Structure 1
Amino acid sequence: MSEDPAPPYTAVERHAMFPTPSHDEAARFDFLANFNKYLSGTIGAGNARAYETRVLPAIEREQGRLPADRFEIRRAMNKDPWHRFWSGLKRNSMEMRQQNGRQMVLRQIDALDAKASSFNANKATLELDPSVDVPRYQRAVDIHCMPGSYHGEERPGDVSAGANYDSGLFATTAGGLGALSDGGGQALVDWIRRERPGWSPRRILDLGSTIGHNIVPLALAFPDTEVVAIDTAAPSLRYGHARAQALGAINLRFVQMNAEDMARFPDGHFDWVQTTMYLHELSGTALPRVIREGFRVLAPGGLMLHLEQPQYSDAMPLYEQFIRDWDAFNNNEPFWSAMHALDLKGIMHDAGFARDSLFVTGVRAVVDESIFPRQDEGAEDHGRAAVWNAYGAWKSA
């Protein structure tokens, strides 16, 4: 492989809740991390060459015009042998990642559940509500090919889904999110300190938190702030709460709740409402509801911020839109394509934000680059690259 190797799995920080890998399990994750780098770099570059030398000329010859949209490119590229080869390897790498993580977790599920129970016992900072239903749009598929998705249980009350998710983020991102896979959360801390030096929000709300890896850095950066993370998936919340406690984020509360209906929170309760790579998990009807509820619970003068991949626009080449769409059709991300074509600014304006308060800015994962080198921005693994767009707004006072 021509790429610089990804950091070894031993560079992942072993907080007290992290599953303990065997030699072979760590070796498999090391292989997968480097395999993913190879797929997004050397092998991925062949997609552009196949498009430029074979697929695009064929479309122009047969249709007498340029491709109409990213879907026409996808249909044509799906017939190309190089893209089929790359796509098959990429899908298989995700399945192998899930198999290895699940094997590692189930081998030690008794110990993991016991540790989680110890961290979670009698803690007011974990609020589970069995009456909360996991929405159909999250139950319909195993997101990221993860068996049972974020809410699946091997047995009642376990933490297997959260532990599996945490253990494999390193391999999926080739280490691009750092030792704790919290590069997104660290980026939020870095951004707000530059944007509003000295600002200390009273309350922060994180929507779709899963295991809380992106909100723990904020809780640690603002120890006097009440931080609330909500999700519908109880297994992820159990694990995430125990993980946060192990990392010292004792001001972080995990609550089982659907972000479409946050009636228990009064109007204007939070100074900061945010998500990290969550909006693309929402259906087209759920997303505007979540934005509206987020606006309602946001205090005047407060911040709403969403980290996501860039939205598709006329300025983004159709080929790039097609490549970014891969996860929607091959990695059990059914709303990815439609969500990235939405007018997020329009949806936020409809929710109540003034148009002149809306902004978009670039955000890069903050990691120790001496251990986790900066990823090649030219690689084609756009869906999981550690660079995001932040879509935000300050609510009028």
Structure 2
Amino acid sequence: MAQNDTFTARDFAFTPNHDETARQNFIGGFKKFINFDVEAALDRRFDATLAPAYEAAHGAPPATRKDAVAAVENDPLFQTWSALTFHSQNLMWGAVQDTTDRIIEDRIETYRQLRDARPAGGSVTLRDELVVRAPVSTTEIHRQPGGYWRERRADDIEQGLNYTGTVEL
């Protein structure tokens, strides 16, 4: 790569194809329905029904997270919202993983070209024997498989691609 060559956003972007885009758009719409419509209905139900019922049973309104959980945990709308939220996250990660699996080798090559062509303004070196311990290595933040820490190949940028793919979802 010549010194004056440039990379465009497209060279390094998360780029789903037509079918992947359609699937991701469906899941994005599904998640918006859950996170806005169903959650708003649950919020109204909590204020109108669940919190008053909790107060009647306990002599005080729910004041802590533990109280709120007790107020909602047996409610069918809460259970529906919770299940939909959980499974929509799995759908989202599965959908973006398909795109990542298709483009990962090309994006790693682009990363390597970029890394090797430009002098660094500094450096960070991690020892190969670095052990990332729990909970960082074991926590799936927002159900992201592998959390934010997972390496399956040299110069792995998979987690970054996956995260980037969810921004619009």
Which position in structure 2 is the counterpart of 1:75?
A: 70
On the 8 A contact 2:20/2:99 being kept in 1, the answer is: yes
Higher helix fraction (1 or 2): 2
Out of 12, 17, 22, the position equivalent to 1:22 is 17
2:111 and 2:50 map into 1 onto residues whose CA distance is 52
Higher strand fraction (1 or 2): 1
2:114 and 2:12 map into 1 onto residues whose CA distance is 9
1:130 paired to 2:126? yes
Which amino acid in 1 is paired with 2:138? Answer: A
Change (3 A) 1:126 1:85: farther
1:155 and 1:124 map into 2 onto residues whose CA distance is 22
1:20 and 1:80 map into 2 onto residues whose CA distance is 40
What RMSD, in angstroms, separates the aligned Cα atoms of the two structures?
2.2
On the 8 A contact 1:120/1:126 being kept in 2, the answer is: no
CA deviation digits over 1:336-394, x for unaligned, max 9?
Answer: xxxxxxxxxxxxxxxxxxxxxxxxxxxxxxxxxxxxxxxxxxxxxxxxxxxxxxxxxxx
Which position in structure 1 is the counterpart of 2:4?
A: none
2:89 and 2:123 map into 1 onto residues whose CA distance is 32
1:101 and 1:88 map into 2 onto residues whose CA distance is 20
Which position in structure 2 is the counterpart of 1:36?
A: 31
Which position in structure 1 is the counterpart of 2:43?
A: 48
Q: Percent identity?
A: 26
1:144 paired to 2:139? no
2:40 and 2:125 map into 1 onto residues whose CA distance is 47
1:14 and 1:117 map into 2 onto residues whose CA distance is 15
On the 8 A contact 2:138/2:146 being kept in 1, the answer is: no
Which position in structure 2 is the counterpart of 1:159?
A: 157
On the 8 A contact 2:11/2:107 being kept in 1, the answer is: no
Which position in structure 1 is the counterpart of 2:108?
A: 113
Which position in structure 1 is the counterpart of 2:168?
A: 170
Q: TM-score, normalised by structure 2?
A: 0.82
CA deviation digits over 1:278-315, x for unaligned, max 9?
Answer: xxxxxxxxxxxxxxxxxxxxxxxxxxxxxxxxxxxxxx
Report how far residue 52 of structure 1 moved. Answer: 2.5
Which position in structure 2 is the counterpart of 1:91?
A: 86
Which amino acid in 2 is paired with 1:129? Answer: T
Q: TM-score, normalised by structure 1?
A: 0.37
Report how far residue 82 of structure 1 moved. Answer: 0.3
Which position in structure 1 is the counterpart of 2:58?
A: 63
Change (3 A) 1:90 1:126: farther
On the 8 A contact 2:137/2:150 being kept in 1, the answer is: no
Q: Which has the larger radius of gyration?
A: 2
Change (3 A) 1:126 1:47: farther
Which is bigger in relative contact order (C-alpha 8 A, separation at least 6)?
2
